[in-house]
Structure 1
């Protein structure tokens, strides 16, 4: 089962998979927080590669992350088998809004990574190529009927005892 099968079925793309390595652990024996960003960055890179953003096409430009929101849902321990599912939530000629959801082998949701990126060429924002946009549009069209995942677009929402008004 590959990306093309996922597109045809209108489901999130499974472009990245791996395993929690011992060097990824923090002092509590769990996957440390920057490794979640690494995993989601690799999932984004896999999606960009699908859209034709790679070293071979560098003159066409690339995507630069403007904003990221990570949500940690469950613990990941050494050896945990991981997979990241990717959805295109929105896009325009310059911007791309991706959501990655990280699951274990039992399909337990472990974390989410929401990313807003902008297309750049020669150091400035620029429209993505027609070929890149065609791939993004195709994925978006087949995924737009999927339910909007919970908490998309939210920020920290739990009030603390001491907070600014």
Structure 2
């Protein structure tokens, strides 16, 4: 009999969500997650493995979900956010034990989608280690399809958007990947 594999657990599971205070200023960008590089994230090159950068950005997204009001209780009622596209830009290596500090900005949103930008920086020297641009979709998990955010979450997204609109759009946002003259783009 095969054993059931353990599922991926974020550091925020079971913590609920932060209470939303309408009068509280929204930080721009949000700084909701930090972590040291764990030993199990280090690969044969002696630094954090590429898949673990995505894992840490996912934990940062989960911190944002809880800031917004999406937690286990929300998911139990059939709502969640699913990532539909991610672009990672690795800039510098991080070794075991080094501190990581993440920020997140809301680039855009509509009734069903959220466009996020993450930065991962070294916790001591503030060097940019990596960025991630993500498109997420609000879903009804029972029906298995996209659905609009409830009004309360749209209102919160609007408040975050207003604060984050003052930030400059990073130069990598929306850029396709390719080599100039890339043969992969030619029609066959």
Q: Is the 8 A contact 2:26 2:159 kept in 1?
A: no
Q: Residues of 2 paired with 1:152 and 1:80: CA distance?
A: 27
Larger relative CO (CA 8 A, sep 6+): 1 or 2?
1
Aligned residues: 161
Gaps of 5+ in 2: 1-19
Structure 2 residue aligned with 1:82: 100
Question: Given the alignment of the two structures, is residue 73 of structure 1 paired with residue 94 of structure 2, yes or no?
Answer: no
Structure 1 residue 11: Cα displacement: 1.7
**TM-score, normalised with respect to structure 2:** 0.79
Structure 1 residue aligned with 2:138: 119
SS in 1 for 2:105: strand
Alignment of 1:90-105 (within 5 A): 90-105=108-123
Cα 1:150–1:79 change in 2 (3 A) is same
Regions of 4+ moved over 3 Å? 157-160, 162-165
**TM-score, normalised with respect to structure 1:** 0.90
Structure 1 residue aligned with 2:159: 138
Structure 1 residue aligned with 2:171: 150
Deviation readout 1:96-142 (Å, 9 max, x if unpaired): 00011000121110000111011001211100111111111111101
Question: Given the alignment of the two structures, is residue 163 of structure 1 paired with residue 183 of structure 2, yes or no?
Answer: yes
Q: Residues of 2 paired with 1:23 and 1:110: CA distance?
A: 18
Structure 2 residue aligned with 1:22: 39
Structure 1 residue 83: Cα displacement: 1.0
Cα 1:14–1:114 change in 2 (3 A) is same
More helix by proportion, 1 or 2?
1
| From 80, 101, 104, the counterpart of 1:62 | 80
RMSD: 2.1
Structure 1 residue 48: Cα displacement: 0.9
Q: Is the 8 A contact 1:60 1:129 kept in 2?
A: no
